Chains A and B, each alone.
Chain A
Amino acid sequence: MQPQAHIEPSTAPTPTGLGTPHEITHGPSFAMLRVDLQPGVTVVAEAGAMVARSEQVSMEVKMNASPSASFFAKLKAFFIALIRKLIGGETFFVNHFQSSQPGSVWLAPTMAGQIAYRRLHGEKLTLSTGAYLAHVGALEMKMKFGGLKSLLAKEGAFFLELGGEGDLWFNSYGGVHAIDVDGSYLVDNGHLVGFEGNLTFTIKGAGGGLMGLVASGEGMVCEFTGQGRVYIQSRNLGSLVGWLTPLLPG
């Protein structure tokens, strides 16, 4: 029997002294994040995520690479970003928000759903790239390629591996659910938000054989083996497109 832990992402305002003060409102369907900035704090967020800000908060565009990265690491990040842009991935730029006086910035992702908060204490968490929203602190962000087969998957070609000490906010399309894996578990690529723990994964076609791959309509799945936790979202952009396409005019 597989134990199932269902996490309710924290949506209450943070108690002072614990992480960056913030509040997640309008969850679970159209969650929006408000981060309260003090002087000296920088909020890094995915480009395009800003909804509103106090006038005194400044915004600067930067490339999505670790602050301590070397020149070559930055160049590598640049090329990975170009490839992602060619496949149709989202922009690789981030915005840095800072304020010399107290102020707030409101952030929201593109698709409907939840925002989850996680305080990282040195452990690693891997997110599918669309799931990253914002972070505060010295987090290491490494772009990982999912392998050649993953290119066929449209979504999920790249993953973001995060580690270090800091506050992280990630989003899901629809609701987010945690599944504790002990053995093997298959997850449709488009429904994967992230994972952590001692897990390895391979990307494969969903069903058995050629008929299964083409006809099942399932697309690619990630097969996880080991012990750890997988986060899934209750909607999938590819399925939305698949459902809508026959209903389009012409």
Chain B
Amino acid sequence: MVSIRQNAYPDLLPDFRNLGVVARVLLAVNAAALAGALYAMPELPRALEGFVRAAAFLEPLLLVELVALFVLSPQLARLSYAGGCAAVVALVSLLAGLYHAGASQVVPELPPSLVRSVVLAALVAASLLAYFRLYTKAFSPALAEARLQALQARIRPHFLFNSLNAVLALIRRDPKRAERSLEDLADLFRTLMSDARQFVRLADEIALLERYAEIEQLRLGERLRITWELDAAPPDAMLPALVLQPLLENAIYHGVEPGTAAGDVLVRIERRGERVHAAIENPYIEAEQRRAGNRMALDNVRERLALFFDAEARLEARAVGSRFRIDIEMPYRAAKA
């Protein structure tokens, strides 16, 4: 589990295996090359020509650099932030130097000097590191806020008071079950109040789902029917805390409680290759769409997925006939044993 101190967000190297990071690097470097070409040759057609020539030299180098960073990412992450930055800049410069030397053997009319290539590569790498640092800094308040929102959105007073009421009813008739329900409630609230910026193991999130479902079952009785399809769920997958529970709560609040008949809810989690898929399905009650607030939990979860996985996670919500369905897809990252 990645623990983060309460008041400070330590600087971390960007995750070089993240699609969003890779895409940003590609875009930034090419934009810089284009800007350079425009600066050197003010007429557009010639500038474009210059850019294409520069790109032919640049693109292979860029890919080699990215692959190297991708491969070495775990080793780099183990260094201190300053050490990591130095290592990244050094690695990039070294590769640029080697590449330049190698390329000049094959193609004679290359950009002038080796030193120039190395210095340029080092400068670009350093600026990009600075950019990523600012980028994470800019999002730190959003993270803190997301956590707060998560907390507020999660403790739905309606759920809390109705659950307490149900447990009170149970105390005389079935004290054992009442005890278990209060334990479930305590576990649930402990997680709800924990740091939503952490990664948790899927197995833990599933245990939380089951505790939560147990409490709802007590309240709603046979009106709530949940089908669990979890056989292919990878227990060691890491995901942001409280991504699935709010969605199950939504499914019950909007899909089961307002209905007079019993409602079927489906929870399916599975690993497909390097991706984890989760789907939650509930009856779609049309009149329910008028009730406010059903998008809040969804937006919150989507935002948190984006903060943790950048462009690599996806959340989709849609009504299909008489069912409402939410699909989540995220990269499979195993917990370190």
Binding partners A and B: no
The interface of chain B, by Cβ under 8 A from chain A, is: none
The interface of chain A, by Cβ under 8 A from chain B, is: none
